[in-house]
Amino acid sequence: MSLSTPKTISNAQPDFERPSTTVDVVMFAVRDGRLHVLLVKRADAPGEPFPGHWALPGGYIDVSKDDSLEACALRKLKEKTGVVSPYLEQLGSWGSKTRDPRGWHSTHAYFALLPAASVITPVSGANAAEADWVPIASKGVVHKLAFDHQVILEAAVERLRNKVEYTSLPAFLLPETFTLTELQTAFETVLGRALDKSSFRKRVEDAELVVALKNKFREGSNRPAQIYKLRSKTAPVFFPRAISETKSRPVKSTAKVRRTSESNF
């Protein structure tokens, strides 16, 4: 095989065909007590694969704008939601000859947890006719997604559910300040099952996850609730053991949470 590499591609890689590289971001948020993911509708332009399909926001790395993979993910997050520093975690990468009809593609997938305050109407971009928050149903969404995005989304949901068992990730889905009941509800929303109040509070206290705001209370039509904030806005806390289900309150959702052989957590 002999071929010339364009001058602007200066990397000293051997003259092999080079896979295309993208970054996709699974952006989670809680709306109306349900977990949602941000999806964009692909353009209907000629030559575009999966025209009109829903897809994860993402796209090619722009080597002139993006200094790193994470910078690229943050750029896409900001473009779509305006959020600058959410909880962002690498989810994994998917690459194969067949996942994109245009040829060998690999994508670096991230997942982000957006605080409730920032969940506004998303911005439609150049490559996306529409963008919208779509509720998570069991493992994924009802739409048929472009490329292998259904697989990526399911991996993100599974990773999130698994990590909730022993980390404080749902805390990043809340606004800056919150009550302990709101925190517990966030956990229950992601987990899909009810938790015992006193056990949950003991976990939170032992882990030193939150800090009480003196003299700050949530006012309402009943006893005021102490308002807290996270001790760390970005780093999750790890609990020494998994949360167990409570028997006293009914389960809210049908989603089964189960650890599987899936890799990363």
Q: Which residues bind DNA (CB under 7 A)?
A: 179-181, 196-199, 201-202, 206, 217-226, 240-241, 243-248
Place of tokens 């964009």: 40
Q: Name the helix (H) or strand (E) containing 79.
A: helix 69-81
Q: Beta-carbon neighbour count of residue 215 at 10 Å?
A: 7
Length of the chain: 265
Smallest distance from the beta carbon of 263 to a copy of itself, in angstroms?
Answer: 5
Q: Which residues, listed in sequence order, are joined to residue 22 by a DSSP beta bridge? A: 60, 107
Smallest distance from the beta carbon of 63 to a copy of itself, in angstroms?
Answer: 5
Q: Which is closer to a copy of itself, CB of 44 or CB of 217?
A: 44
Size of the site for a copy of itself (CB under 8 A): 61
Q: Does 46 bind a copy of itself (CB under 8 A)?
A: no
Instruction: Give the one entry of a copy of itself, DNA, none that residue 51 binds, where binding means its C-beta sits below a cut-off of 5 to 8 angstroms depending on kind.
Output: none
Smallest distance from the beta carbon of 101 to a copy of itself, in angstroms?
Answer: 9
Smallest distance from the beta carbon of 130 to a copy of itself, in angstroms?
Answer: 22
List 45, 47, 121, 250, residue binding a copy of itself (CB under 8 A): 47
List 50, 60, 139, 226, residue binding a copy of itself (CB under 8 A): 60
d(CA 180, CA 229): 10
Q: Which is closer to a copy of itself, CB of 113 or CB of 227?
A: 113
Write out the two tokens for 139: 């493992």
Write out the two tokens for 20: 């295309």
Q: Cα dihedral sign for 124, 126, 128, 130?
A: positive
In the window 123-162, what residues touch a copy of itself (CB under 8 A)?
A: 159
Smallest distance from the beta carbon of 134 to a copy of itself, in angstroms?
Answer: 25
Taking CA 190 as the corner, what is the angle to CA 187 and CA 193, rounded to the nearest 5 degrees? 75
Taking CA 13 as the corner, what is the angle to CA 10 and CA 19, rounded to the nearest 5 degrees? 100
Binding segment for a copy of itself (CB under 8 A), chosen from 136-144, 173-181, 212-220, 237-245, is: 237-245
Q: Name the helix (H) or strand (E) containing 228.
A: strand 225-230
Backbone phi, then psi, for 94, in 5-degree steps? Answer: -130, 125
Q: Is 164 exposed, middle or buried (0-12, 13-18, 19+ CB in 10 A)?
A: buried
Smallest distance from the beta carbon of 162 to a copy of itself, in angstroms?
Answer: 9
In the window 204-233, what residues touch a copy of itself (CB under 8 A)?
A: 232
List 9, 117, 123, 213, residue binding a copy of itself (CB under 8 A): 9
In the window 90-109, what residues touch a copy of itself (CB under 8 A)?
A: 90-98, 100, 102-106, 108
Smallest distance from the beta carbon of 206 to DNA, in angstroms?
Answer: 7
Radius of gyration of the chain (CA): 21
Instruction: Give the one entry of DNA, a copy of itself, none that residue 238 binds, where binding means its C-beta sits below a cut-off of 5 to 8 angstroms depending on kind.
Output: a copy of itself
